[in-house]
Amino acid sequence: MLREKIEKHLLEIQKPSRYIGGEVGSVTKDKSKIDVRFAFCFPDTYDIGMSHLGMKILYSLTNERENYWCERCFAPSLDFEKIMRENDIPLYALESLDPIKDFDFIGFTMQYELSYTNVLNMLDLAGIPIFAKDRTDELTQIVVAGGPCVCNPEPLADFFDIFILGEGEEVNLELMDLYNDMKKKGASRLDFLREAAQIEGIYVPQFYEFFYKENGTVDHIETKENAPAVVRKRIIKDLDKVYYPENFVVPFTEIVHDRVSVEVLRGCIRGCRFCQAGFIYRPFREKSSDVICAETKSLCENTGYDEVSLASLSTSDHSDIDNMLTKLIDYTENERINLSLPSLRVDNFSESLLEKIKKVRKSGLTFAAEGGTQRLRDVINKNVTEEEIMNTCRIAFQGGYAAVKLYFMMGLPTETDEDIIGIAELAQRIVDLFYSIENRPKGKGVQVSVSCATFVPKPFTPFQFEPQDTREEIERKQKLLLDSVKTKKIRVSYHDPNVSMLEVILAKGDRRLCPVIYEAWKKGCKFDSWSEHYKFDKWLEAFEECGVDPKFYANRRFEYDEILPWEHLDYLVSKEFFIRENKTAHKSITTPHCRQRCSGCGVNKKVGRECF
């Protein structure tokens, strides 16, 4: 039995409780009574994957159905992978400890580009053919993917049978229902895929063929098997009525986000031009305060967590935030629960609420300023002014804080050296502010951390057309920033530009990248997002051998009239809007947020109702 084989080696590896299941809240069923088995795979380790909210929602949702069973599966760490390969232990699901190759669905959530090689590695560990074309004609082992990265799934097209676009709460069950029906009728894999392609939100990549121009850009896309020319993402109309779990699986080992998280809203009104999440999750929809409080209460009671966090792109944009937080804080205080409030703007709260929040917030102070000068912040439509940053810092310093963290991006469109030096100057002004305050924390020096990421242009943003700075240019700017910092009170950290380069290629790439990813994995690339495992030289070899020029994707401006590799996928926001916003950005003009004025992104027309 597989369980015995696994247990024989569990004490030889780090954190064995990650590989054996049995956690409180995990769902086990009698498999003889199950019609459809779904392996929900996260292409990274348990510690990271278990923190993912989407998995928690879809796990519980699927398991509500008596005859369906959803189980969890994660990428093993290298120590356990070695043992698995040496002892013929196939990748298995944590609830039944059964090999996932025997499941009906093997579903991956694609959260970041650097997890792509892990998908291949997991399929290989499972004993499932890596390429979709090599899988059996029978109706079983359907490999699917969802999550933000599938808004441009083309670099993964050869490995998957189905991509699920948009929110999964409804469409996942529709897909499983169809499978269940057709399986009973003895349908083949192809029969099923043909039918599935007719469901809104389901994209079957093998039914689409890409043709390229001589200059390398897309010429046209042909469809077959009656698949729709354009696939539109799915959305949930009413967030108050959508399924939300009453219980989470509570891990034994500590995970990255080890707490209850309650979803507050979906979408974002802000329209920061670099931010993919801000566009692909539109329209803006919120849960009512009562629902949020009820979900918090049942999750805390059922899991036993003493910490809860609110999940959203921008919690303070909830229309009833004051009332919601007042209610939540009353409950959490009473129950001795810590409430953490990430991504919160404190501009317009009442005095009494501010007092309460002060008691709650113990974590450090962070600002996503993103750009070093006001001009650049206008270009990216990040509506944060220096005055706001300074005001909040003043309040924080007076309240006893002595450390501030600032996030920036480097390599943004229209960026000049002045903008880079501006980052150092802004940090310096915060240092100066600290020492100008009379009742500042005594005996402490101020610490301003500047964290500088490399800008990665993403599909379905106004910056999707933009090239990324070359590695040489990014390295020059990083050096310029370091040279501009004059004090040790400012600490600068930045990303490896080689990692950001791979990110943009995989984000904006097309199907010609599938063999590159395969070759890179063959050469040992996996866990690319872990700096200690990242092998840029192997990736370069893979590009070289496949005859693919990385610069074509990373450093080339995509033209407005060019057919983009994701042009056949409809995320509700129109391409015309992105072009308009791109032009506005280059004029350093901001666009007001959606509550102030509709910016005409096109979502309301497609959904058939106004957002506000």
Partner 1 sequence: MFLIRLRAEFEKKGRAKYISHLDLNRCMLRTFRRSRLPIWYTEGFNPHPYYAFALALSLGFESGCEILDFNLNEEIPFDEVRDRLNAVMPEGMRIVRVWEQKMKITAIKEAEYQFSLVSDDAEKLYGDIGKLLSQENILIEKKTKKGMKTVDIKPDMKIISCENNNGRIDVCLRMPAGTQTNFNPNLFIDALRNFSQTGFSAEKITRTGIFCDNNMKFE
**Which residues here bind partner 1, judged by CB under 8 A?**
10-11, 15-17, 20-24, 250, 252-254, 300-306, 336
Q: Which residues contact 228 (CB under 8 A, 6 or more apart)?
A: 197, 198
Q: Which is nearer to partner 1, 54 or 251 (CB)?
A: 251
d(CA 117, CA 526): 5
Q: In the structure, how many helices (H) and strands (E) does the chain have?
A: 21, 19
Q: Which residues contact 294 (CB under 8 A, 6 or more apart)?
A: none
| Smallest separation (angstroms) from partner 1 to the CB of 525 | 30
Q: Which residues contact 609 (CB under 8 A, 6 or more apart)?
A: none
| Smallest separation (angstroms) from partner 1 to the CB of 601 | 43
- E-assigned strands of 110-161? 142-146
| Smallest separation (angstroms) from partner 1 to the CB of 247 | 10
| Smallest separation (angstroms) from partner 1 to the CB of 253 | 6
Question: Which token pair is 565?
Answer: 């590799």
Q: Which is nearer to partner 1, 50 or 123 (CB)?
A: 50
d(CA 146, CA 110): 6
d(CA 453, CA 407): 8
Q: What is the SS3 assignment for 247?
A: coil
| DSSP letters for 227-245 | --SSEEPB--S-TTTS---
3-state secondary structure 45-64: CHHHHCCCHHHHHHHHHHHC
Rounded to the nearest 10 degrees, what angle do helices 471-484 and 497-508 cross at?
A: 140
d(CA 65, CA 61): 7
Q: Which is nearer to partner 1, 290 or 306 (CB)?
A: 306
* DSSP β-bridge partners for residue 493: 451
| Smallest separation (angstroms) from partner 1 to the CB of 46 | 12
Q: Which is nearer to partner 1, 305 or 539 (CB)?
A: 305
Q: Which is nearer to partner 1, 24 or 190 (CB)?
A: 24
| Smallest separation (angstroms) from partner 1 to the CB of 18 | 9
d(CA 321, CA 62): 31
Residue type, 95: E
| Smallest separation (angstroms) from partner 1 to the CB of 90 | 19
Among 403, 400, 393, 404, which Cα is nearest to 439's?
400
| Smallest separation (angstroms) from partner 1 to the CB of 25 | 9
Question: Which token pair is 490?
Answer: 């400012």
Q: Which residue has the tokens 């990303």?
A: 495
Q: Which residue has the tokens 């309301």?
A: 604
Q: Which is nearer to partner 1, 252 or 435 (CB)?
A: 252
Q: Which is nearer to partner 1, 23 or 469 (CB)?
A: 23
Q: Which is nearer to partner 1, 20 or 294 (CB)?
A: 20
Among 129, 205, 122, 112, which Cα is nearest to 162's?
205
| Smallest separation (angstroms) from partner 1 to the CB of 19 | 8
What is the CB-side half-sphere exposure of residue 378 using CA atoms within 13 A?
A: 10
| Smallest separation (angstroms) from partner 1 to the CB of 289 | 24
d(CA 300, CA 278): 29
| Smallest separation (angstroms) from partner 1 to the CB of 353 | 24
Among 410, 405, 407, which Cα is nearest to 421's?
410
Question: Which token pair is 175?
Answer: 């897909």
Q: Which is nearer to partner 1, 299 or 601 (CB)?
A: 299
| Smallest separation (angstroms) from partner 1 to the CB of 302 | 7
Question: Which token pair is 274?
Answer: 């670099």
| Smallest separation (angstroms) from partner 1 to the CB of 469 | 44
- E-assigned strands of 416-497? 447-454, 490-494
d(CA 530, CA 521): 15
